[in-house]
Amino acid sequence: MDSLALFCTGALLAGGLYWFVCVLGPAEQKGKRAVDLSGGSISAEKVRDNYKQYWSFFRRPKEIETAEKVPDFVNTFYNLVTDIYEWGWGQSFHFSPSVSGKSHRDATRLHEEMAVDLIDVKPGDRIVDVGCGVGGPMRAIAAHSRAKVVGITINEYQVSRARLHNKKAGLDSLCEVVCGNFLEMPFPDNSFDGAYSIEATCHAPKLEDVYAEVFRVMKPGSLFVSYEWVTTDKYRADNPEHVEVIQGIERGDALPGLRSYSDIAETAKKVGFEVVKEKDLAKPPALPWWTRLKMGRIAYWRNHILVTVLAAIGIAPKGTVDVHDMLFKTADYLTRGGDSGIFSPMHMILLRKPKAAPSES
């Protein structure tokens, strides 16, 4: 009887682990599996040390305000989180408004397609994705517009993941990925027919620097759209709860500092752009973008248990548990920012580079 009970218990545990890993493991049909979680370009034994290094940046806040320090800061962050993002969220590392009757995946795709529709490109045009991650938006945009998309990301591991996904999707002829710093892009002046950035320029220490670089590589007359992370008009710097939420978002998402919505257009004008349109896509009648975070709380706990087990038995790097815990807490800050209305991850600004740019006249 004892042997039978032991056998049943073992079978139940094995079945539960299989269900967690194989059934619930992949974020998408062809996404990352739980058993494949890694530290990106960081070797498994150094993941925890790099996690501690990431947090050390916040003990020296002046260092994450300089262009020299930010690349290492952001690169370390994406080495730590890329696999977890892809496994637990998908290949598009951004938010989108919920759409009634649509799945989260469809809402995400529509949000991405809107970006390329705004910049009015034609099939065969060459456009740049400023901060492309593993290329989820790039593939949706290339498939929708048939434009040739060149993505840039600072993280080598994301480059390899994006290229793999591009090939699997049959879009490698339309999608190119380059490893580089979007503050110093390795592209000639006036070389792109359009540009977009989806929740990526928030990592720049100064928005002016990345906007100036985008301006440089765009052809005169072309359009650039960016979805910016901002504090809204409801944010109060003298409200301790507001400050706690915003600082929690900054620490958990590798941000040198969130910008106010009121600074975006002025910064764009300063580097020479014309402002065509500006709108916070998170405001009503848009449905809450943070719904997916609220609905995912059970999944977060399930995933955390799984990551803990995989780390304990040596399949996942030890520091993966720390990283997942950080992202779980950050999700709460993001939800609170959305609920209170003090934070938006989709302040949209559409900009045009004048046909006779100031630097060229």
pLDDT higher than threshold 50 for residue 157:
yes
Q: What pLDDT band is residue 304 in, cutting at 50, 70 and 90?
A: confident
Return the minimum-mean-pLDDT range out of 57-61, 153-157, 269-273, 312-316. 57-61
Separation between Cα atoms, residue 88 and residue 214, nearest integer Å: 31
What stretch of H or E contains 333? helix 320-340
* Helix, strand, coil percent values for the chain (each to nearest 5): 50, 15, 30
Q: What pLDDT band is residue 361 in, cutting at 50, 70 and 90?
A: very low
Q: What pLDDT band is residue 4 in, cutting at 50, 70 and 90?
A: low
pLDDT higher than threshold 60 for residue 91:
yes
Separation between Cα atoms, residue 68 and residue 72, nearest integer Å: 8
pTM of the predicted structure, to 2 decimals: 0.89
pLDDT of amino acid 22: 52
Compute the average pLDDT of residues 71-78: 87
Compute the average pLDDT of residues 345-358: 89
pLDDT of amino acid 11: 60
On average, the pLDDT of the chain sits at: 88
Return the minimum-mean-pLDDT range out of 72-81, 158-167, 261-270, 352-361. 352-361
Q: What pLDDT band is residue 15 in, cutting at 50, 70 and 90?
A: low
Q: What pLDDT band is residue 13 in, cutting at 50, 70 and 90?
A: low
Separation between Cα atoms, residue 198 and residue 281, nearest integer Å: 12
pLDDT of amino acid 340: 97
pLDDT higher than threshold 80 for residue 16:
no
pLDDT higher than threshold 80 for residue 63:
no
What stretch of H or E contains 268? helix 264-270
Share of the chain above pLDDT 70, in %: 85
Got the DSSP string for 51-66?
Answer: HHHHHHHHHSGGGGGS
Please state the φ and ψ torsions of residue 64, each to the nearest 5 degrees. -95, 10
